[in-house]
Structure 1
Amino acid sequence: MYPIKAAADLTGLSPETLRAWERRHAAIRPVRDPQGRRLYDAATIERLGRLHRLTGRGHPIRDLAALDDDALERLLDDGRQAAYGGVETLPGRMLDAIADYRVDEFDRDLSVAIATLPMPVLMARVVMPLLREVGLRWSDGRLAIAQERLVSSLLRMRLLAVLNPPPRERRARVLFATLPGERHELGLLGAALQAHEAGLPVLYLGTELPAAEIARVATRLDCAGIALGSVDPEQARATLAELRELDAALPPGLPVWIGGANARYLAEALGLPRVQAVLDPDALARFAASRTRGRPSQRAAA
């Protein structure tokens, strides 16, 4: 059971919003302790998370309040799976704009897609096809090096802007990075965006950070976990050494999740309890959420 401040930290909502959703809309029903203070169980925390995501997409709380948890989940899923007009042809249109150096048009279409599409749809139907088409056009000479760099730069800039945490974010964050020699960023960025979409606070540090630096940041900022990407097979052995150094430098109990093509090999070769291979970004969000649930209440108690 979580007090109201811990529930607010876990859901990203203010205590005032929690009270309003209870009093005005009866969207939740916390229990009361002997002193009359509100307490929220895990199921209510999950419900608040769904309500938060749906209100963020424009659904009024008055329309959501009477829906049960299954109905809220179906509504979320409908939003993820819905067909979006013109989205299949969007990557091609965006690259046609870049080929003609219409950078503002490319950036406008990308910004609208990011603002309107659920993250899984954005990644699967816009970002990944866009990058595949960039590779094809670059290889057959339809796209110059500078144009390819424009696409990469604009894409990275806009997607990273999504990950900027709220200025008053106080929940423990999941740190995303790659170790030295690992320059491939797309998978890491995609996993961070999906974790963000699932409601997790994200600290995105990018590529090629030494193990000692990652450990220092994660410890000083009391991170909830560390998510690393590794896809280059030539870097696997060097990454093993960095991971051993990272394990030695981290406090007990802080988990490390590895994604990418090398993930299973690295986790098995290390055999360390804290290091887990994660091949599904959704699984990472679930793992991280389960590890962060108790942290805010511990701080509140302190």
Structure 2
Amino acid sequence: MYIRPMFPIKATAELTGLTPETLRAWERRHGAVVPLRDAAGRRLYDAQMVDRLCYLHRLTGRGHPIRDLAALDDAALERLSGASRDTGYGGLDALPGQMLDAIADYRIDEFDRDLTVAITTLPVAVLVSRVVAPLLREVGVRWADGRLAIAQERLVSSLLRSRLMSVLTQHPGAARPRVLFATLPGEPHELGLLGAGLHAHDAGASVLYLGTGLPADELATVASRLDAAAVAVSSIDPGHAPQALAGMRALDAALEPHVPVWVGGGNARYLAEAVASPRIQAVIDPMSLAELIRRCASARRPLRTRRERTAAG
């Protein structure tokens, strides 16, 4: 007798490129996929569910809202996935190369215009995955083969930082959960952190971007004084991993007990496992930020209510 294979949530996350948090959120909030349960109540996914989740992951990455996709059957998702390859934001594939061609010729206004149009017209997920991330990869390739000078690389970084920061500061959102974004000493790379900040802003957080190289004790002080709901840090360079580990341990020791730490970048899993603190979580899929921010907002509502009662009394 044939027994169809079943996958637990961790294996399903690996197969689809999603996180367990995203899988649970899509199930609970949208009914996108409703898994089976074993005798102990653990989620189980079959191969058809895994295929459906792969389609959903690709389509949300192209800017389609999960709330719209969840109601579609598998055949509709397959058709939409094929159509999106041809027509959904199709002009974006050539945009990063065109922008860098403009930088190579010092046509700064043209680069800035294209970037501004992309920021103002694209969903954040599409902006990051189809414009910012490919642009950064192409910068690395062109710098390595000599087609891009150091000054031109720095122009790209400066313009990106300026424009992306303008998005984060548009709506401070005092009622939103406040999340601090920074890197620890020795980590100069910030564009990935800015991209994560955009995802967090889009998911409903009030993002306070503190930049690079902030000492752990100062970051903890800011988090305490501003009543931060969470702290997000990034560590990319493998050669910097030992220094980053020392910084993460110092941050874990300095922060107030209730403040979670989300770490992204190439060293994220290593740092989270090495520090082994319940508060520290590696964030590999930026889409999982939405669920983390929702949890922060839910956890902090009673605290605000008590403060309001105290102020009123």
- Alpha-carbon distance change, 224 to 101 in structure 1, aligned in 2, over 3 angstroms: same
Consecutive unaligned residues of structure 2, counting only runs of 5 or more, are 1-28, 31-65, 308-313
The answer on 1:257 being equivalent to 2:262 is yes
Q: CA deviation at 1:108?
A: 0.6
What amino acid sits opposite 2:93 in the alignment?
A: E
Which deviations, in whole Å up to 9, do the C-alpha atoms of 1:194-243 show, x marking residues without a partner? 11111222111111110001100001000001111112222222222222
The question of 1:216 aligning with 2:221 is answered yes
Q: Where does 1:255-294 land on structure 2 (aligned, <5 Å)?
A: 255-294=260-299
Alignment of 1:117-128 (within 5 A): 117-128=122-133
Deviation, structure 1 residue 297: 4.5
**AA aligned opposite 2:184:** L
**Alpha-carbon distance in structure 2 between the residues aligned to 1:131 and 1:168:** 29
Matches within 5 A, 1:155-174: 155-164=160-169, 166-167=171-172, 169-174=174-179
Matching of residue 205 in structure 1 with residue 217 in structure 2: no
Equivalent residues in 2 for 1:17-166, closer than 5 Å? 70-71=67-68, 83-164=88-169, 166=171
Amino acid at match of 1:262: N
Structure-2 separation of matches of 1:259 and 1:131: 17
CA gap 1:154/1:74 in 2 versus in 1, 3 angstroms: farther
Q: 1:87 to 1:74 in 2, by over 3 A?
A: farther
Is the Cα contact below 8 Å between 2:180 and 2:210 reproduced in 1?
yes
* CA distance in 2: counterparts of 1:73 and 1:108, whole angstroms: 35
Conserved? CA contact 1:165–1:202, under 8 Å: no
Contact 1:257 1:284 in 2 (8 A): no
Partner of 1:234 in structure 2?
A: 239
Secondary structure of residue in 2 paired with 1:89: helix
Asked whether the 8 Å contact 2:178–2:208 carries over to 1, the reply is yes
* SS at structure 2 position matched to 1:110: helix
Cα distance in 2 for partners of 1:83, 1:116 equals: 13
1:300 aligned onto 2:301? no
Contact 2:183 2:233 in 1 (8 A): yes
Which blocks of at least 5 consecutive residues in structure 1 are unaligned?
1-45, 48-68
Q: 1:152 to 1:71 in 2, by over 3 A?
A: closer
TM-score if structure 2 supplies the norm length? 0.68
Matched residue, 1:16: none
8 Å CA contact 2:177, 2:296 repeated in 1: no
TM-score (norm 1): 0.70
Instruction: For 2:274 and 2:300, locate their aligned partners in 1 and report how far apart those are by CA, in whole Å.
Output: 30
Deviation per residue, 1:122-151 (Å, 9 max, x gap): 112111222222223233333222222211
Q: Against the structure 1 CA distance between its residues 143 and 267, is the aligned structure 2 distance closer, same or farther, given a 3 Å change threshold?
A: closer
Aligned amino acid, residue 264 of structure 1? R
SS at match of 1:162: helix
Q: Distance in 1 between matches of 2:236 and 2:151?
A: 25
Q: SS state of the match for residue 161, structure 2?
A: helix
Identity, in percent, stands at 62
Please state how far the C-alpha of 1:85 moved relative to its aligned partner. Answer: 4.5
After superposition, the C-alpha distances for 1:126-181 in whole angstroms (9 at most, x for unaligned) are 11222222223233333222222211111111111111152562333111111111
Letter aligned with residue 104 of structure 2 = A
Deviation at 1:71, TM superposition (A): 4.5
Aligned partner letter, 1:266: L
Report Cα offsets for 1:256-297 as digits up to 9, x if no partner: 111122122212221211112221111233123212224245
Give the corresponding residue for 1:65: none
Alignment partners' CA distance in 2, 1:243 and 1:217? 16
In structure 1, C-alpha distance between the alignment counterparts of 2:121 and 2:159, rounded to whole Å: 18
Q: How many residues align?
A: 236
